[in-house]
Amino acid sequence: MNHLKSMTMSEIGAVLKELGQPAFRAKQIFSWLHKGVRTYEEMTNLPKSLRDTLAEQYPINAPEVVRKQESQKDGTIKYLWRLSDGNCVETVLMRYHYGNTVCISTEVGCRMGCAFCASTLGGLVRPLEPFEMLDQVLFTQLDSGLPVSHIVLMGIGEPLDNLSNVLRFLELVNSPDGMNISMRHISLSTCGLVPKIDELAEEQLQISLAISLHGPNNAIRSRIMPVNKAYPIEELIPACRRYYEKTSRRIHFEYAMIRDLNDNPAQAKELLALLKGLPAHVNLIPLNHVEESPLKPSTKAAVAAFQKILEDGGVTATVRRTLGSDIDASCGQLRRKYNRESDTADQQRK
Ligand code: SAH
């Protein structure tokens, strides 16, 4: 299925040419689609006959809100969307002082198998289309009435496992005739698919790259992230260096603090040594507890001590605020809960 909303303006132009339509209509259609219209009827500056043809040949898909949860503590809003094929994905809107940030999903499920992550528990269902990523930004903005200025690709899925669609999404959301969100306001987080990091570097985008590290050595990292067996630390860190050389963008390292697993002072020193010489920023994330997992978050004191060792060693490290902790706002938790509840409901109906 070809979706106009996944197409660039010149690709829409080519479709219109086939239909014998003038080129200027491409911009009109692109703008309407990127405003979040749900029907061609809303495209009031198009002739009726063209609207009818397009509706028949290129139906517009848009997600429906299945659940919406708003944090009473910090205004974080979490959406669970139903896509046109019935699958569900999550988007989170976070309100920071520098602007409203949406965290979007890039796949339905995930096949990376990280031990601490709820998104991967049911495996990968399918990658998302470019327009399905765009729709998360667009409809979160429309539904909440809050203008979105920043995007993080840190929801369900591994963005580099769906790289071509992600690149297309970035081009679309950055378009001046669309949402016009600056590349510098976009972060992409990966578990560390080395060849794909190199491919992304070739694009020389001004986005921020975040690496989910979570361990200072192969023994720890392989225990919680199966991807480390394919791309161990001695391959990952040089790939980060190459990325920096190509883009001049400082690398962000995410480090989920897991009690008695990766959070002691010796491990902080090991991490420091690992990142030596690399323009890096470390984000310490107190682990969000996932029901199905035995892993527990580090204590506040352990996080603070870890941070101090990094800072004293010259690596900037911030502790990520946990937003939306009252609304299952961490990766994949809401979708998981919803799928479980609908399974139970199905079983009860049987
Ligand atoms: N697949 C990508 C992006 C999605 S996850 C990646 O691996 O980077 C976004 C971030 O949340 C990653 O750093 C991921 O490791 C982290 N994360 C997942 N589950 C978590 C949990 N329960 N607690 C804390 N961080 C978690």
Using a 10 angstrom Cβ sphere, with 0-12 exposed, 13-18 middle and 19 or more buried, the burial of residue 257 is buried
Pairing outcome for strands 251-257 and 316-319: unpaired
| List of E strands, the chain | 64-70, 77-82, 88-96, 99-103, 107-109, 124-127, 148-153, 186-190, 208-212, 251-257, 280-286, 316-319
Percent of the chain clearing pLDDT 70 (strictly above): 95
- pLDDT of residue 170 exceeding 80, the answer is yes
pLDDT digits (tens, 9 = 90+) for 173-203: 999 999 999 999 999 999 999 999 999 999 9
Nearest to 332 by CA among 180, 113, 40, 129: 113
Q: Which atom of ligand 1 is nearest to the CA of 211?
A: 8
Residue 343 has a pLDDT of 64
Is 331 known to be catalytic?
yes
Q: Fold match between 61-187 and 191-319?
A: yes
| Half-sphere exposure in the Cβ direction for 6 (13 Å, CA) | 18
pLDDT for residue 320: 81
Q: Which fold has domain 61-187?
A: TIM Barrel (3.20.20)
Separation of 156 CA from ligand 1 center, angstroms? 9
Pocket test for ligand 1, best of 153, 161, 189 (most atoms within 8 A of CB): 189
What pLDDT is stored for residue 224 in this prediction? 97
Q: Residue 350: what pLDDT?
A: 47
Please tell me the pTM assigned to this model: 0.95
* 153-165 tens-digit pLDDT: 999 999 999 999 9
Domain 191-319, CATH class in plain words: alpha beta
CB contact at 8 A, 249 and 207:
yes
Least confident of 40-49, 266-275, 286-295, 305-314: 286-295
| Across 72-81, 212-221, 232-241, least confident range | 72-81
Name the residue of 103, 128, 154 whose CB sits within 8 Å of the most ligand 1 atoms, as the mutation to test its pocket. Answer: 154
Ligand 1 binding residues, C-beta < 6 A = 114, 116-117, 154, 158, 189-191, 212, 254, 256, 285, 287-288, 290, 330-331
- The β-bridge partners of 151 are 102, 186
Please tell me the distance between residue 212's alpha carbon and the centre of ligand 1 in angstroms. 7
Correct CATH for 4-57 of 1.10.150.530, 1.20.58.2240, 3.10.20.30, 3.40.50.1980: 1.10.150.530
Which residue, judged by its Cα, is nearest atom 17 of ligand 1? 117
Locate the domains of the chain by residue range.
4-57, 61-187, 191-319
Report, as an integer, the average pLDDT of 89-94.
96
pLDDT value, residue 340:
73
Compute the distance from residue 247 Cα to the ligand 1 centre, in Å.
24
